[in-house]
Amino acid sequence: MSQLLPPEVRDLLALSLVPGIGPRLTAALLERFGSAAAVLQAGVEELSTIPFITPRLAQSIRQAMQHADTALELERIEKHGVRLVALGSPEYPPALAAINDRPYLLYVRGSLTAADANAVALVGSRYCTDYGRRMAARLAAGLARARITVISGLARGIDGAAHRAALEAGGRTLAVLAGGLSRIYPPEHADLARQVEASGAVLSESKMDQEPLAGLFPVRNRIISGLAKVVVIVEAAE
């Protein structure tokens, strides 16, 4: 895997492993230095020229860059059958590339196809009613039969119902996770994730062993909405 990974993608991976560097700061760094390789070589004074990066933060980033374990991350990627899809590559979804804070790297298991440009996201409460679950399944099945990709977040409740119904109808479905792909969450949806992978893809922007922390879910949701033409909130708390 590491031998086949283009150098620029490997550099982006190293940059993404630095704590505190998200999509917006990555964009600012790449605009300033021109490439991930140049960012990784930048000194504290150079990093400090970026807005919102104080000298103290620049020092922390510089140290973290020196300790980013790209080799270990690549081992995990290979072990779990994951591949990296970089912004600008042919497989990267054009709709997602158009949002302001697009991820520069996607971790993907399964396939992303041109057909996924025609997609609808079905999302909602983990603690849904039976009615909500039935409606999610009905919508997902209809979309799948119309050859529209169903996107959701693999969560309990509405998300799981949407994925299952799309699969049962023979359609494509994409699951966007908040945590890493070596930690499928919730764990009881591991089998569902494998089914989604076989008929679409499971993807995330998080490093492989990232725990699904609460704050990552709202950030993840921008990817769901970015991939979809329409987002349907099937059922949610007031």
Q: What is the 3-state secondary structure (H, E, C) of 12-58?
A: HHHHHCCCCCCHHHHHHHHHHHCCHHHHHHCCHHHHCCCCCCCHHHH
Report pLDDT digits (tens) over 170-193: 999 999 999 999 999 999 999 999
Question: 105 with 45: CB under 8 angstroms?
Answer: no
Would 7-80 and 94-235 be classified into the same CATH topology?
no
State the DSSP code for 107: E
| Tens-digit pLDDT profile for residues 25-48 | 999 999 999 999 999 999 999 999
Neighbours of 79 (CB within 10 A): 11
The angle formed by the CA atoms of residues 97, 100 and 104, to the nearest 5 degrees, is 50
Topology of domain 94-235, CATH: Rossmann fold (3.40.50)
Query: Across all residues in the chain, what is the average pLDDT?
Result: 94
- Domain 7-80 fold is DNA polymerase; domain 1 (1.10.150)
**Residue 3: partners with Cβ closer than 8 Å, 6 or more residues away:** none
- At 145 the pLDDT is 98
Closest by CA position to 6, among listed 26, 33, 36: 36
Q: Domain ranges in the chain?
A: 7-80, 94-235
Res. 13 pLDDT band, cuts 50 70 90: very high
